[in-house]
Amino acid sequence: MGRRLVLVAVLVLRLGMMGGVDPVQAEWYLAGQGGQQIPQDLTNIRGTGNFTGVTSNNLNLRTQWAYGVKAGYIFSDAWNWLAVEFDFPHSDANVERQGITAGAPILGTTQQSGMTPRVGLTVNHMTGHVIARYPGGFLQPYVGVGGGLGHSLLRTAPEAESAFYPVFSVLAGMKLFVTEHVALFGEYTYARATVEFSDNQFNADLRTNWFMGGVAYHF
């Protein structure tokens, strides 16, 4: 009987201590970011429309500077390790001047070789991520997964062509708080999409690596 009373007393004391802990408040944050976007080759290039059935070798894309903004919301109390975030980065992934070999599976495979000029290709991502983070005081590592909408502009002559497409992305990063509200961060994001340019009659897989850093303000 005495042991039971002791156990009940310990439980009551524990619950009382838990009730005295200040709740963790939810918070918003805004961030500016910059860095480099390192694209992988434009792969699985396939003709559409009049060029259906035509394939091409992979095309090299050029590393470019990148910049963008973020906005996020961190949940409160027991969920303060979880956040949701909107991310908008912008960059270019220009197609380098290079040799190209196209093949059409007609009576076997017909090969046709040539040179492609340098062509501008902008890359914009408007994505949402679910973020899992370590809610420490000074250093906060985090990982995330999500997706959204991509937009690219292929600057071909005589007219440029715009395309929208779904994007899947994963990320990992680290925040370092320099004050209660201001944090520096570094982040890597891998994004993958299939983009189709109907006027130029082809689609391809576009995979990009974003190495970004910036400053975030937590409200």
Give the CATH number, domain containing residue 69: 2.40.160.20
Q: Which of 31-45, 47-61, 191-205 has the lowest mean pLDDT?
A: 47-61
Write out the residue range of the structural domain in which residue 121 sits: 24-218
Per-residue pLDDT at 21 exceeds 60: no
Average pLDDT over residues 66-87: 95
**For all residues of the chain together, what is the average pLDDT?**
85
What is the pLDDT at residue 195?
Answer: 95
**Lookup: tokens for 16:** 């009382």
**Residue 9: inside a domain, yes or no?**
no
What is the pLDDT at residue 6?
Answer: 36
CA gap 77, 85 in Å, rounded? 18
**Residue 1: inside a domain, yes or no?**
no
In terms of pLDDT, which residue wins out, 3 or 42? Answer: 42
**Residue 18: inside a domain, yes or no?**
no
Q: For 91-110, how does the pLDDT look when each residue is reduced to its tens digit (9 = 90+)?
A: 988 888 888 887 765 444 55
CA gap 213, 33 in Å, rounded? 5
Structurally, the chain folds into a number of domains equal to: 1
**Residue 15: inside a domain, yes or no?**
no
Average pLDDT over residues 15-42: 76
Cα of 131 vs its chain's centroid, Å: 12
